[in-house]
């Protein structure tokens, strides 16, 4: 499979969020081991008109500066002071928009992913752990050993990138409201979350 290039990310954020479903997110550890997850859930955030976006109304802070970077840049931020969330910057440079990667399923080196999450190989996970393995942005970042250190990485580099993969069956794609943005007024109702039905 080929890597997604910058032109993939430099498009309408909703299109990118939908088309990322099924693609393979790759994280290469300092040891050289490659962790791979298929993307199963995304959310779109568009700063120019989305009150749920950190850069709503073109707000610029030290935290949000990465959102203004070139499309195909990793924007990683911390929530609740403890969980990292991975976003892929979209649209034109200077236009704050990104896709949050909310969930995935293991494709390669699942035992390392499980060790990062639960301290055991996949075979040692309980049913509860299997159900909640990679089904949230913080869980995914922990499994992939992604932290704020990787904020600003170029997704066309060697440490973190996305591989193309066949598009999923459209009958399995669902659309709905985003999660955890009750503060965002009318943006609460934007149907900007996309996921693959199990």
Does 80 score more than 90 pLDDT? Answer: no
Phi-psi region of 91 (alpha: psi -120 to 50; beta: other; left: phi over 0): left
Q: What percent of the chain has pLDDT over 90?
A: 91
Residues 19 and 103: their CA atoms lie apart, in Å, by 14
| Lowest mean pLDDT across 19-23, 34-38, 67-71, 169-173 | 169-173
pTM flag (> 0.75)? yes
pLDDT of residue 60: 94
Does 67 score more than 90 pLDDT? Answer: yes
| Per-residue pLDDT tens over the stretch 118-162 | 999 999 999 999 999 999 999 999 999 999 999 999 999 999 999
Domain ranges of the chain: 6-163
Residues 107 and 125: their CA atoms lie apart, in Å, by 16
Mean of pLDDT over the chain: 95
Does 198 score more than 80 pLDDT? Answer: no
CB 11 within 8 A of CB 78: no
| Per-residue pLDDT tens over the stretch 91-122 | 999 999 999 999 999 999 999 999 999 999 99
pLDDT of residue 195: 97
Using DSSP bridges, classify how beta strands 34-46 and 83-89 pair: parallel, antiparallel or unpaired: unpaired
Residue with tokens 């693959």: 196
The full 3-state SS of the chain, as one line of letters, equals CCECCHHHHCCCHHHHHHHCCCCEEEEECCCCCEEEEEEEEEEEEECCCCCCCCCHHHCCCCCCHHHHCCCCEEEEEEECCCEEEEEEECCCCCCCEEEEEEEEEEEECHHHHHHHHHCCCHHHCCHHHHHCCCCCHHHHHHHCCCCHHHCCCECCCCCEEEECCCCCCHHHEEEECCCCCCCCHHHHHCCCEEEECC
Rg (CA), the chain: 16
Does 71 score more than 90 pLDDT? Answer: yes
127: Cβ contacts below 8 Å, ≥ 6 apart: none
Residues 9 and 190: their CA atoms lie apart, in Å, by 21
pLDDT of residue 151: 97
| Per-residue pLDDT tens over the stretch 8-27 | 999 999 999 999 999 999 99
pLDDT confidence bin for 171, thresholds 50/70/90: confident
Task: Compare 173 and 79 and report the one with higher pLDDT.
Answer: 173
Q: Which CATH superfamily is domain 6-163 in?
A: Methylpurine-DNA glycosylase (MPG) (3.10.300.10)
Does 1 score more than 90 pLDDT? Answer: no
| Per-residue pLDDT tens over the stretch 29-46 | 999 999 999 999 999 999
């Amino acid at each position: 499979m080929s890597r997604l290039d910058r032109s993939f990310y430099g498009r309408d954020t909703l299109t990118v969020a939908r088309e990322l479903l099924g693609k393979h997110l790759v994280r290469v550890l300092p040891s050289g081991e490659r962790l791979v997850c298929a993307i199963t859930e995304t959310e779109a955030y568009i700063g120019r008109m989305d009150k749920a976006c950190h850069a709503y109304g073109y707000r610029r802070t030290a935290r949000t500066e990465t959102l203004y970077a070139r499309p195909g840049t990793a924007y990683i931020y911390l929530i609740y002071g403890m969980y990292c969330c991975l976003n892929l910057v979209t649209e034109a440079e200077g236009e704050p928009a990104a896709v949050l990667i909310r969930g995935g399923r293991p494709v390669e080196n699942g035992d390392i992913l499980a060790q990062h999450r639960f301290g055991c190989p996949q075979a040692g996970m309980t049913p509860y752990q299997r159900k909640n393995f990679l089904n949230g942005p913080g869980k995914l970042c922990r499994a992939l050993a992604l932290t704020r250190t990787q904020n600003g990485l170029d997704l066309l580099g060697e440490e973190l990138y996305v591989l193309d993969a066949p598009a999923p069956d459209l009958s399995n794609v669902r659309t709905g409201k985003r999660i955890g943005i009750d503060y965002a007024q009318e943006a609460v109702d934007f149907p900007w979350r996309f996921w693959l039905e199990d």
